[in-house]
Amino acid sequence: MSKKRTLDNFFKPVIAKRQRVESTEPPSNHTTYPFPVPQLPPNTADVLNFCPATEGKLINDQPDLDLVYFQPYIAKDAAKDLFHFLRRELFFYRVKYSIKRGPVETQISTPRFTTVFGLDDSAVFSPDGTLVTRVAKTPVPVDRYKCLPRPIPGCLDRLRKLVEAATDCTYNFCLVNYYASGNDSIAYHSDDERFLGPRPAIASLSLGASRDFYMKHKPVAPSPAAEKDAPPLQVGAKPLTLALGSGDMVLMRGTTQKNWLHSIPKRKGGESDRGRINITFRRAMVRGGTDNYYQYNVGVGPVFKWDETKGEMREWNREKEEGKEREEEEEEEEEGGGPGKGEGNSA
């Protein structure tokens, strides 16, 4: 070893590698989960007590736009830990579906990983995990929903409560997107579904790689009295770009969804390839909302789980996982003193 390197090492501050400390609380589980979801690690949970890390800034200087931008909502280190925890522990889907426009059916592949938890306002989960009506607390018939609703796991429910307090709104749904690379995206759309009510509040939290969030006003149809081919009306709204960094949160509320579109466009290389998680909290009023969210964010395809060694989402399969666990248990048993492994047998 060269002298220079030895000296460098001498003066380098000793930074202890941060240990991953797991929660001792039992994980969240439900019959609809492919596998249990651990509780937040205690150090991440503690830091969340200091949210919001900054005060929200109002962005309402354009027609029909009403945003509150927390930049950030979660401080940098905690946002990083939360990103890695959620990417590692949640189950995701890559949903495919078909849409019919007139006689033409088109196959769509959602260009990002998604997952969803929650239940509309008509019902609640009872402590044993079954569904009961919100008011009368009578069992909900099993065929009420096309896809069985999933309770929000403890780790995301903690976030939901914090976000409720910071935004003065209540939410019963949590949608999670994972953009694995710059090739993953969400096209221009508005979250103005009828089941969210007329002026929905949607809180959108970003973790991981920074991505551009584009917003533009919807074209405004000319009045019925205008000429037939009249161009869309100009409302004088300028498109907007927010460079959403890790820990940032945007609350979209009031007339925003009715009048504005938003998207996360594709990007080439750079930071995007490190992956980004987006979590939106919303409130669905009726059961149609529940069916819609599960159809488009869970679907019927395979489960994906983050593979730490490969550094990518991999298809997860219950039989394969259970087989792997059995093998590991058998290996442990053998190492623990099975025949031929005893003392004096090493020659």
Residues in touch with ligand AKG (CB under 6 A): 175, 177, 186, 191, 204, 206, 213, 262, 264, 278, 280
> E strand or H helix at 160, and its extent?
helix 154-167
Q: How far apart are the first and last CA of the chain?
A: 36
Angle formed by the axes of helices 76-89 and 154-167, nearest 10°: 140
Residues 323-342 that bind Fe ion (CB under 5 A): none
Strand partners, 48: none
Q: Closest separation between CB of residue 277 and ligand AKG, Å?
A: 9
Q: Is 217 annotated as a binding residue?
A: no
- Cβ contact 73:166 at 8 Å: yes
Q: Which amino acid is at 146?
A: K
Binding window for Fe ion (CB under 5 A); candidates: 135-143, 156-164, 185-193, 220-228: 185-193
**CA separation for the pair 179, 276 (Å, rounded):** 5
For position 193 contacting Fe ion by CB under 5 A, the verdict is no
Q: Closest separation between CB of residue 48 and Fe ion, Å?
A: 24
Residues 287-306 that bind Fe ion (CB under 5 A): none
Distance of CA 119 to the CA centre of its chain: 16
**CA separation for the pair 333, 339 (Å, rounded):** 10
Q: Closest separation between CB of residue 189 and Fe ion, Å?
A: 6
Q: Closest separation between CB of residue 5 and Fe ion, Å?
A: 51
Nearest-CA neighbor of 175 among 262, 90, 240?
90
Q: Closest separation between CB of residue 312 and ligand AKG, Å?
A: 19
Q: Is 189 annotated as a binding residue?
A: yes
Q: Which does 264 bind (CB under 5 to 8 A by kind): Fe ion, ligand AKG, none?
A: ligand AKG
Q: Which does 278 bind (CB under 5 to 8 A by kind): Fe ion, ligand AKG, none?
A: ligand AKG
| Helix/strand/coil for 39 | coil
For position 191 contacting Fe ion by CB under 5 A, the verdict is yes
Q: Which does 39 bind (CB under 5 to 8 A by kind): ligand AKG, Fe ion, none?
A: none
Of 44 and 185, which has the nearer Cβ to ligand AKG?
185
Q: Is 84 annotated as a binding residue?
A: no
Sheet containing 202-208: which strands, arranged edge to edge? 57-59, 67-70, 249-252, 202-208, 276-282, 173-179, 113-118
Task: Output the six-digit token pair for 11.
Answer: 């003066």
Q: Closest separation between CB of residue 49 and ligand AKG, Å?
A: 25
Q: Which does 213 bind (CB under 5 to 8 A by kind): ligand AKG, Fe ion, none?
A: ligand AKG
Q: Is 179 annotated as a binding residue?
A: yes
Q: Is 294 annotated as a binding residue?
A: no
Strand partners, 109: 96
Q: Is 177 annotated as a binding residue?
A: yes
Instruction: Spell out the residues 6+ positions from residue 73 whose beta carbon is closer than 8 angstroms to its own.
Output: 51, 52, 53, 54, 163, 166, 205, 247, 248, 249
Residue positions forming the annotated binding site for 2-oxoglutarate:
177, 179, 189, 262, 276, 280, 282
Positions touching Fe ion (CB under 5 A) are: 191
Residue positions forming the annotated binding site:
177, 179, 189, 192, 262, 276, 280, 282
Residue positions forming the annotated binding site for substrate:
192
